[in-house]
Structure 1
Amino acid sequence: MRVSHRLTFGLCSVLLSSLAAAAPAPAPARDAAVAIPIPDVPYTTFTLKNGLTVIVHEDHKSPVVAINTWYHVGSKNEKPGKTGFAHLFEHLMFSGSANFDKTFLSALEGVGATDLNGTTNKDRTNYFETVPTSMVDYALFAESDRMGHLLGVLDQKKLDLQRGVVQNEKRQRENQPYGIVEQIVTENTWPANHPYSWTVIGSMTDLDAASMTDVTDWFKGHYGPNNVVLVLAGDITPQQAREKVEKYYGDIPPGPPQAHQEAWIAKRSGTHRGKVQDRVPQARIYRSWNVPGADTPEEALLDLAAQVLGGGKTSRLYQRLVVKEQLATAASAGDDSNEIAGQFGINLTAKPGAPATDVARMEALADEELRALLKAGPTAAELRLAQTTILAQFARAVERVGGFGGKSDLLARCATFTGNPDCYKTYLQRIKAATPAAVRQAMNDWLANGDYVLEVDPFPTGLAATPSTVDRSKGAPTGHPEALRLPPMQKATLSNGMKVVLAERHGAPVINLSMLLGGGFASDSQALPGLASLTLRMLEEGTGAPGRTRSALEISRELEGLGASFGTTINLDGAFVNMNVLKPTLAQALGLYADLARHPSFPQADFERVRKTRLAAIQREQTVPRLMALRVLPPLMYGAGHPYSLPLTGTGTIDAVARMRRADLVAYHDQWFKPNNATLLVVGDTTLAELTPLLERAFGAWKAGAVPAHDIAKVDQPAGTTIYLIDRPGALQSDIVGAQLAPPRNTPDTIALNLLNDVFGGTFSSRLNMDLREDKHWSYGVGTSLVAARGQRILYSDSPVQTDKTADALRELAREYAELGSARPVTPRELQDAQANETLGLPGSFETVGQLSNAYSTILQYGLPEDYYNTYTAAALALTPAQLNALAARVVLPRQPVWIVVGDMSKIEAPIRALNLGTVRRIDVDGKPLP
């Protein structure tokens, strides 16, 4: 569960870039951009007698159904002194209801739900899950039961528990770098009585004061079916949906008449400034204006303005501040459109150690770029790129039925706030119709330098509940695992020996390209950790093919003009060069894609800039508690000199990155980027017959060559128990990481290990999370992870806990580790829950071409059977508790994990030492011993 900001496709909170106002951008590809069609998400809608609005969208490509429930209540419905209620109640609604008295997340995980969560923002609370088709009745029973039958089991214990969880969430958010910003900005940009003048998560004082009467009255006032939009999208027909919804929801009485706030922009005048100090490595400037909100003509125009001003590498601020002047390492601009008002913002992050004069100059130059855009407006080419970016987002949105940004989310948002599920089409038509003059006018109206009206509408007549046909005492109906049949991997080999793997997925005009290269973090030398990832990062900064060069700016323009996205990723054993394209632009995009992979030019000036950004990123990692631990963990596990012993983030060290030269990147690329070290994985709307000639043209001239070999030696688990302490003065929480070595990703026990991880810490209902979050509420959330690797991998737990419970939490964690599989064996029920989580959730994990590509990449990189996912369910269901307990005995044999604790040592060191769990050592952020 999380506090979220309102999610819309109209929201363009994007990274800031900067283009000198006088420099016109060249035209993008002619057949991309505004020619991208507006998607159509067909739907059927009906309203129950109790006022519940229901929307149904059919999509039978996968046997799953997304269920998206939007309550038209958020933090703006609260009152001063009683803030945080909407978000607190979001948590309470996960605690169980009269006939479904279970932890909701655990129960839904157990029937295969994916994209499962709940969020609260200023304007609404939503709950969503994508479930196997056979589990729709189960999910609708659960959702309807907490809508209509919640208060019967809501007691003081549950209120106190979830209040503690929410307060830990607040501490965890504020414990992050820049975590205090939201509170300060919110309180200083809205009038004191404005519905947006307090944060969604609320204040500690208000949360402490919330009584059972308060929360009961809150529920009764806002959570009736007449204040709800329910969307079912996926493998279901309107007739089936109507029958099921009437069955489970029809007997819920309507709530009281609702009062909804009309637009209240609260436009400000003048300039007001504030200053605050925080424990962060870089100065940052936040600048915001109150502007019209969502579903207004101004929203689309200001979204486009944000894209031009700060929407990517071609944008004006990025080019001016990050590339040309190199005063900033990051910047962003966005138009955050909420229901009754919005905020347009500019965020600028100065380079590390920048003096006050540089910070002031960065701010002044950003203002200069803004004023230039206010004066002349965007160029036609800039506007076209901005339009393409937004339209391309929607072209990809139709892949998914659930989750943030999926089709169910799109329909629910529009219906909740406008009454028209098609409102996104109006928004996109405004995007397409926008002109430079219109964007300029909107900017001058709202960015160049309040009245509240209450309308009372008649309460609808005829609302009533219908007799129930559901015997809720029998509990929710259950289903079964759905069959999984992923598209087969088709294979080809180019004339130069490069392997090609294709998985066809038709339905959306989207194609994902992923080049898998051997290497990864493990290919870094001990002298230059971070070289591999920095080389991958530099691919998009320029190309130098014979007779054809591209600058970083030209690359960004070409990508935007094609409606394509490019990026690289890297893990311990491999590197990935990725491009997501639209089918109409595939042929053009392949030429650019091949050039980026084969002919990076590593321009010296861009290398220096990116290196500074990487150094700043490492400094940021050394302030984030979890990353601080993960950076120093590998050498403690594998020993110095092992290929896996470098920082787990892959960014390297400050010393190594500072010593890197352009020639190092060139040499790394020459060594590892060879067609015989690459497999090109293509997933999406194409065929091998039409794809192969295009790939031959793009890659056929690439020559094979020798590739370095590197062995991953096996090591022993570190002996004994050692607790490493990293001081973070003033920390509001402590972060406890415990780690052990586990078998490689392709071990025959891989599925059993996944199930064991689920039981121990890998799911919401796992032992560790239930202990520290749900039982003791010392933490917002605890979990375990398995780091994928071809060699031994790390199994680690991450436990952010409140400071005064650090030693107690560490003792609890050590007990849980020691008892797994021996003193406390895995029970049949725990195994059953883990099996349900692993198998029932599979169909919801392969909706998009990106998800499919990730799955096939896993198979290819780790040498798993091609039918790994198709046979996963049967293999998981065949396992027994005895097998998991035997595996626990092997994997967690030493029962002496390596511990790293990051926190305020002045408060936690003495209690930790008093535990006598093992040797205690203090280290710095680089893992070096301290006295």
Structure 2
Amino acid sequence: MIKTISAIATCLALSFSSVAQEVDFTEYDLNNGLHVILHQDNSAPVVTVGVMYHVGAKDEEKGRTGFAHFFEHLLFEGTQNIERGEWFNIVAAHGGSNNANTTQDRTYYYETFPSNNLELGLWMESERMLHPVINQIGVDTQNEVVKEEKRTRIDNAPYGKIIYNTGITPYLFQKHPYKNSVIGTMEDLDAAQLDEFKAFFKKYYGPNNATLVVTGDFNTPETKKLIENYFGQIKARPAVTRVNIKEAPITKTIKATEYDNNIQIPAKLYVYRTPSMKDRDAYVLEMISSVLTGGKSSRLYKKMVDQEKTALQVLAFPRSQEDYGTYVVGALALGETSLATLGKSIDEEISKLRTTLISEKEYQKLQNEFENQFVNANSSMEGIAASLATYHTLYGNTNLINKEIEIYRSITREEIKDVANKYLKENQRLDLDYLPTPEKK
């Protein structure tokens, strides 16, 4: 009886969450090409203003890696009307918070304010787009900031080259700029001239290469007028030519060894090149990742950590991107366990996925997990703003914020088996031994 009541409660909760998470929005274009998305929700006096530019690390010129990420920092330096170093102070003084982030495909800036400061957020983002101050002082300052970030997150962080892909992507991509890291190289940034930074801004930071999102407590007609006032007069730039580089299929196992002087525990990693984030198979691969290492009840965790006690930890994560993705699965060795032993155990579980349907219990767990992720992703104005901007910019379909969960619901056990068999083959992967740097004698 208790199980029956629990099952009914779960179904009702899932049904309610799906309805509750329906995101109403309005979208339109200004005459200059700026795409605007508005989601009005007056339940709390908070508003988020975000701008996503369709420019990322893959758009950089050869020998100038790191530009897109560098601008994530540089465009907080100041504008003609915001003094240098005052951006964060202005936001904090008005009860707000702000941040930015960069990927291979886009750069995103946002502020969250009490709703009575909506106009301030719009003004600041229009300032960033219209006339930021890009000078040598700002470039030199942020150059040091980025160098320290690279040292902290990659160079001196355990497994940093894996977490940030710098030890993976050069093996998987020969032509596509995904082979380069988002943070780039310091040599490229040091060599860049001020005019090159100004040219990068002029090329990619036009309104017709951007999506403006406003979510939260506001009046839609009034907000449309404010947006027109602050953004409508910004001139469009020449259309951006998108990266269109195809990689040849991987048909032979790529064997490699990487060393990290920040670790003591070696790892075995298998890495696969996967399709675009817009491809249905990318969604299936996310589910496969969950089956393998989605918590302590996952297959690899139970097998290698609990039962065999050969792994200290297991990992698997797909990195979905606009053109291609990567899928990493691996384990950290426990004690004297060899990497060959770890690889054999991982391959046994991958083989099962490729040849046998997952159980009904595992399938229901997956459905519950992705329902929960759907709810959590859209539980705040910041989350909704980022989702709306991403779905429009990278997927070309803003309404995926409401419909994407239906893709996960429609994935079958048979499809999981087929996709595993399609992509998770030995001759289509990087076989990477990730080792502590040998001590010098």
Q: Work out whether the TM-score is over 0.5.
A: yes
**In structure 2, C-alpha distance between the alignment counterparts of 1:89 and 1:37, rounded to whole Å:** 37
Q: Which amino acid aligns with 1:448?
A: K
Q: 1-side partners of 2:73 and 2:356: how far apart?
A: 48
The 3-state SS of whatever aligns with 2:254 is coil
Alignment of 1:119-158 (within 5 A): 119-150=101-132, 153-158=133-138
Residue 418 in structure 1 maps to residue 395 in structure 2: yes
SS of the equivalent of 1:260 reads coil
Alignment of 1:165-564 (within 5 A): 165-173=145-153, 174-181=155-162, 182-191=165-174, 193-261=175-243, 264=246, 267-278=249-260, 279-351=262-334, 354-355=335-336, 357-402=337-382, 406-449=383-426
Q: Contact (CA 8 Å) 2:314, 2:330: kept in 1 or not?
A: yes
Q: 1:675-694 alignment to 2 at 5 Å?
A: none
TM-score, normalization by structure 2: 0.90
The residue type equivalent to 2:192 in the other structure is A
| The one of 22, 34, 44 aligned to 1:52 | 34
Equivalent position SS for 1:427: helix
Q: 137, 140, 144: which is aligned to 1:160?
A: 140
Distance 1:274 1:380 in 2: 37
Q: Distance in 2 between matches of 1:28 and 1:437?
A: 30
- Taking the aligned partners of 2:58 and 2:343, their CA distance within structure 1 comes to 32
Aligned mates of 1:392, 1:265 — CA distance in 2: 35
Matched residue SS, 1:233: strand
Q: With CA pairs under 8 Å and 6+ residues apart, which has the higher RCO, 1 or 2?
A: 2
Asked if 2 retains the 8 angstrom alpha-carbon contact of 1:295 and 1:427, the reply is: no
CA distance in 2, matches of 1:61, 1:265: 48
> SS state of the match for residue 171, structure 1?
helix
How far has the Cα of 1:195 moved from its partner? 2.0
CA distance 1:28–1:409, shift in 2 (3 Å): farther
For the 8 Å contact 2:167–2:258, the answer to whether it is kept is no
Q: Is the 8 A contact 1:317 1:366 kept in 2?
A: yes
Q: State the alpha-carbon separation in 1 of the partners of residues 407 and 121 from structure 2.
A: 37
Residue 76 of structure 1 corresponds to: 58
The DSSP-based 3-state class of the residue aligned with 1:65 is strand
Deviation at 1:119, TM superposition (A): 0.6
Greater helix content: 2
Aligned partner of 1:468 in structure 2 is none
Helix, strand or coil at the partner of 1:277: strand
Q: Are the aligned partners of 1:67 and 1:408 in contact in 2 as well (CA < 8 Å)?
A: yes
**How far apart, in 2, do the equivalents of 1:423 and 1:180 lie?**
32
TM-score w.r.t. the length of structure 1 is 0.43
State the partner residue of 1:816: none
Of residues 90, 109, 114 in structure 2, which corresponds to 1:107? 90
Conserved? CA contact 1:265–1:342, under 8 Å = no
Q: Within 2, Cα distance between the matches of 1:102 and 1:65?
A: 25
In structure 1, give the amino acid aligned to 2:392.
A
Which whole-Å CA distance do the structure 2 matches of 1:324 and 1:228 have between them? 51
Q: CA deviation at 1:146?
A: 1.3
In structure 1, list runs of 5 or more residues that go unmatched. Answer: 1-25, 450-622, 624-729, 731-931
Task: Assess if the C-alpha contact under 8 Å between 1:265 and 1:340 holds in 2.
Answer: no
Shift in alpha-carbon separation, 1:28–1:340, aligned structure 2, 3 A: farther
Q: Deviations over 1:706-740 (max 9, x none)?
A: xxxxxxxxxxxxxxxxxxxxxxxx9xxxxxxxxxx
Structure 2: distance between partners of 1:27 and 1:294: 38
CA shift at 1:27, angstroms? 12
Distance in 1 between residues matched to 2:279 and 2:245, nearest whole Å: 10
Q: The residue matched to 2:314 in structure 1 has which SS?
A: strand
**Partner Cα distance (1:147, 1:28) in 2:** 54
User: Given that residues 290 and 342 in structure 1 are in contact (C-alpha distance below 8 angstroms), is that contact kept between their aligned partners in structure 2?
Assistant: yes
Amino acid paired to 1:435: T
What secondary structure sits across from 1:82 in the alignment? coil
Write out aligned runs for 1:599-748 (5 A): none
CA distance change for structure 1 residues 169 and 271 in 2, over 3 Å: closer, same or farther? same
For residue 411 of structure 1, report the CA deviation from its aligned partner: 0.7
Letter of the 1:299 partner, please give it: A
Aligned to 1:89: 71
- How far does residue 110 in structure 1 lie from its aligned partner after superposition? 2.1
Measured in 2, the distance between the counterparts of 1:266 and 1:428 equals 32
Q: Aligned to 2:390, what secondary structure does the other structure show? A: helix
1:196 is paired with a residue whose SS is helix
Q: What CA RMSD, in Å, does the superposition of the two structures yield over aligned residues? A: 2.2
Give per-residue Cα distances to partners, 1:27-58, cap 9 Å, x unaligned. 99644377563631100112111111111101
2:18 matches 1:37: yes
Identity %: 32
Q: In the TM superposition, what is the alpha-carbon distance from 1:262 to its structure 2 partner?
A: 5.0
Structure 1 residue 225: Cα displacement:
0.3
Give the drift of 1:276: 2.8
How many residue pairs get aligned? The number is: 416
**How far is 1:106 from its partner?**
2.7
| CA-to-aligned-CA distance 1:570-609 (integer Å, 9 cap, x gap) | xxxxxxxxxxxxxxxxxxxxxxxxxxxxxxxxxxxxxxxx
Q: How big is the shift at 1:268?
A: 1.5
Task: Note if contact 2:268-2:342 (Cα within 8 Å) is conserved in structure 1.
Answer: no
